[in-house]
């Protein structure tokens, strides 16, 4: 993940309603804004937060002071990012998503509209569980569909795909396509976001099944629950 750079000095290029400098609007003077990062004037970004170069923070968002957001990210309307959350580069966080403490998103993660993270497994209003937050890691390139719920403490693997409305309760393997409540694996998804076709046993290795992306032709090998692009096996 790249770190934020100094703010741009060219005020004229800032679109109306957007803020490009710390200390303006509701963007604290102690915020680090990377070059070209823009925050809508209705959003709050607290002192200490870091937003990487070229990122966009849209209407009514709230980024807390301990949050670190990478470069070229988009935070849609009404996104909340709590303290301690890290977001890699090029993440797309759609409207109404809250990233609670304990959530970590690697690069290229897509969070669909109104999907839900959690950070306490057994909440009770009358019991403080602030020191029991569980970690949820979303690995590089994973997508989470609209209105899905991720029960805390899981890892969603690289390029995994969570269907709309799914409830994820367990770790998700790389490239897995998950759907339903509770979420079950219904297939495998390519890095490009196409459901992988099964080609058959891999030539020369009976323990591996060959899969193929219908969109790009890229080949993958599956051994049990482990899928990897063929070129990563060499």
Ligand X SMILES: CC(C)(COP(=O)(O)OP(=O)(O)OC[C@H]1O[C@@H](n2cnc3c(N)ncnc32)[C@H](O)[C@@H]1OP(=O)(O)O)[C@@H](O)C(=O)NCCC(=O)NCCS
Q: Which of residues 182-201 bind ligand X (CB under 6 A)?
A: 186, 195
> According to the binding rule CB under 6 A, does residue 1 interact with ligand X?
no
Least Å distance between CB 129 and ligand X?
30
Among residues 20 and 166, whose Cβ is nearest to ligand X?
166
CA distance linking residue 77 with residue 206, whole number of Å: 49
Among residues 52 and 76, whose Cβ is nearest to ligand X?
76
CA distance linking residue 119 with residue 24, whole number of Å: 32
- Tell me how crowded residue 139 is: count the other CB atoms within 10 A of its CB: 20
Dihedral over Cα of 25, 29, 31, 34: its sign: positive
x/- binding map, residues 125-154, to ligand X, per CB under 6 A?
--------------------xx--------
Angle value at C-alpha 52, between 46 and 55, nearest 5 degrees: 90
Among residues 22 and 141, whose Cβ is nearest to ligand X?
141
> According to the binding rule CB under 6 A, does residue 226 interact with ligand X?
no
CA distance linking residue 30 with residue 60, whole number of Å: 20
* Strand 226-229 versus strand 219-223 pairing type: antiparallel
Among residues 39 and 160, whose Cβ is nearest to ligand X?
160
Among residues 54 and 145, whose Cβ is nearest to ligand X?
145
Interacting span for ligand X (CB under 6 A) from 4-12, 57-65, 128-136, 164-172: 164-172
CA distance linking residue 206 with residue 138, whole number of Å: 32
> According to the binding rule CB under 6 A, does residue 180 interact with ligand X?
yes
Are 153 and 137 contacting, i.e. CB atoms less than 8 angstroms apart? no
**Residues binding ligand X (CB under 6 A):** 112, 145-146, 161, 163-166, 179-180, 186, 195
């Amino acid at each position: 993940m790249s770190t934020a750079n100094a703010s741009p000095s060219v005020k004229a290029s800032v679109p109306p309603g957007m803020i490009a400098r710390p200390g303006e609007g509701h963007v604290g003077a102690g915020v680090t804004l990377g070059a070209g990062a823009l925050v809508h004037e209705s959003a709050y970004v607290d002192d200490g937060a870091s937003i990487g170069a070229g990122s966009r923070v849209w209407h009514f968002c709230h980024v807390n002071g301990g949050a670190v957001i990478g470069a070229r990210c988009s935070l849609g309307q009404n996104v909340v990012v709590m303290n301690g959350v890290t977001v890699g580069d090029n993440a797309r966080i759609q409207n109404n998503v809250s990233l609670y403490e304990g959530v970590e998103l690697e690069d290229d993660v897509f969070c669909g509209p109104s999907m839900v993270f959690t950070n306490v497994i057994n909440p009770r209003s009358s019991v403080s569980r602030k020191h029991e937050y569980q970690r949820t890691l979303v690995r590089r390139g994973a997508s989470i569909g609209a209105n899905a719920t991720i029960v805390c403490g899981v890892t969603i693997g690289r390029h995994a795909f969570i269907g709309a409305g799914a409830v994820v309760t367990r770790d998700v393997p790389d490239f897995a396509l998950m759907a339903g409540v509770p979420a079950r694996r219904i297939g495998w998804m390519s890095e490009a976001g196409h459901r992988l076709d099964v080609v058959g046993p891999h030539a020369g290795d009976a323990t591996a099944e060959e899969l193929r992306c219908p969109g790009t032709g890229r080949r993958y090998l599956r051994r049990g629950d482990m899928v990897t692009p063929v070129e990563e096996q060499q």
